[in-house]
Amino acid sequence: MISFVIGAILFVAVVACAAAAVTFTRKIKSASYSDSKLNSRRNFFAILALVLLVVLLIVPGSIKTVEAGNIAVVKELGRAIDTRSSGMYFDIWLTRSYVYYDLTVQQEDVRTAAYSSDAQTMDIEMVVQYQIQPEHAVDIINNYGDLINLSNRIQSVSIEKAKTVLSSKSAMNIIETRATVSPMIEESIKSAISDDYYVNITTVVVTNIDFSDAFENTVEEKMIAEQQKLKAEYEKEKAIVEAQKELEVAKLEAQAVVATAEGNAEAKLAIADAEAKAIKAKSVEIARMLGFDVIEEKDGDTVTYTIDFTGKSAEEIQVISDYLKYIEYLSTWDGKLPTTVLGDSASVILPVQGSEIASPAN
């Protein structure tokens, strides 16, 4: 922009000086005598116009501007001699020229075909990003000429190293470890891009790996089979868990039944023990009522009773036994009399007005 403005000003000045020189020339021709002042003025404007023309041809083209994010290599008569960072410079364009390099991150979209270790074909896509080293801009122009040649060389190395990494793995391994493939390729490319390339590799990302349709169908079928296998194993484990759960429930129910049975048994045992104690107490009381001697012995909280049958006849002892049987019978009697009594003769018991009258029957 500055070069354009300066050029426009100089152009106007050249035109104005040329016009003045032409005007004075016409005046000299129209005059009947020679005027040294007019000649001097005409020569002045003519020389000034010539000088301004030379300046116009040299100055605007010699003003160079390097934008931010760029670097310029100065070539003098075809030989790279220096670099210019961002800013404005004055270099005579007749002898010096600028070659501009972009210092921002450059991106190469790389696409190529590759093979796995088991000869499966694949198409890969990756992105390689790099930045040139500004201190080696002169070396880049001397060795590669321009960034296009350097870019092509970086692409070639990237393709070669990506193929090498992928050829060391089987197709299934690439699929299973896809997340680790990109870092491996990046490391391989970075180690291959040596100092002779004068760039810094910032990022290498594998964006896509596309296998053949036949192989992808095979992989899909395998994955479906594995999923079905996992589902079957899950169903099996689920059935085992349910069976174990039912077994535990059955065990708990069985334990509950056993506990109930044991509780009932203990209850019955306690009842039987209480009944036995009650019968024993009754027998002691009856023995006392009938005049038997009862010996009482204490052992702590336990009291033991012993009936002394010394000097008693069998009939007297039988009285106690019969009495106990009578008491036991009364405890279980439902209060109803038998309707028929058998003996030497049969008797039928008939109810009369709420009472029962025995009627002999022969």
The pLDDT, as a whole number, for residue 330 is 58
The pLDDT, as a whole number, for residue 70 is 92
The pLDDT, as a whole number, for residue 350 is 47
User: What is d(CA 359, CA 362) in angstroms, rounded to the nearest whole number?
Assistant: 10
Q: In Å, what is the CA distance from 9 to each residue of 14, 58, 60, 231?
A: 9, 14, 10, 85
The pLDDT, as a whole number, for residue 361 is 43
User: What is d(CA 224, CA 138) in angstroms, rounded to the nearest whole number?
Assistant: 58
The pLDDT, as a whole number, for residue 356 is 42
User: What is d(CA 109, CA 239) in angstroms, rounded to the nearest whole number?
Assistant: 53
The pLDDT, as a whole number, for residue 15 is 86
pLDDT tens for the 362 residues of the chain, in order: 777 778 788 788 888 888 877 877 777 777 655 567 777 877 787 888 888 888 888 888 888 888 888 999 999 888 888 889 888 888 888 888 899 999 999 999 999 999 888 888 899 999 999 999 999 999 999 988 888 899 999 999 999 999 999 999 888 888 888 888 989 999 999 999 878 889 999 999 999 988 877 777 776 777 777 777 887 788 888 878 887 888 788 787 777 777 777 777 676 666 656 666 666 677 777 777 777 777 777 777 676 767 777 666 777 777 767 766 666 665 565 556 565 555 555 444 444 444 443 444 44
Decide: pTM greater than 0.85. Answer: no
User: What is d(CA 183, CA 200) in angstroms, rounded to the nearest whole number?
Assistant: 16
User: What is d(CA 100, CA 97) in angstroms, rounded to the nearest whole number?
Assistant: 10
Q: In Å, what is the CA distance from 216 to each residue of 146, 171, 209, 211, 292?
A: 42, 10, 11, 6, 108
User: What is d(CA 125, CA 113) in angstroms, rounded to the nearest whole number?
Assistant: 9
* Residue whose token pair is 């009258």: 357
The pLDDT, as a whole number, for residue 165 is 92
Pairing of strands 293-299, 87-90: unpaired
User: What is d(CA 25, CA 18) in angstroms, rounded to the nearest whole number?
Assistant: 11
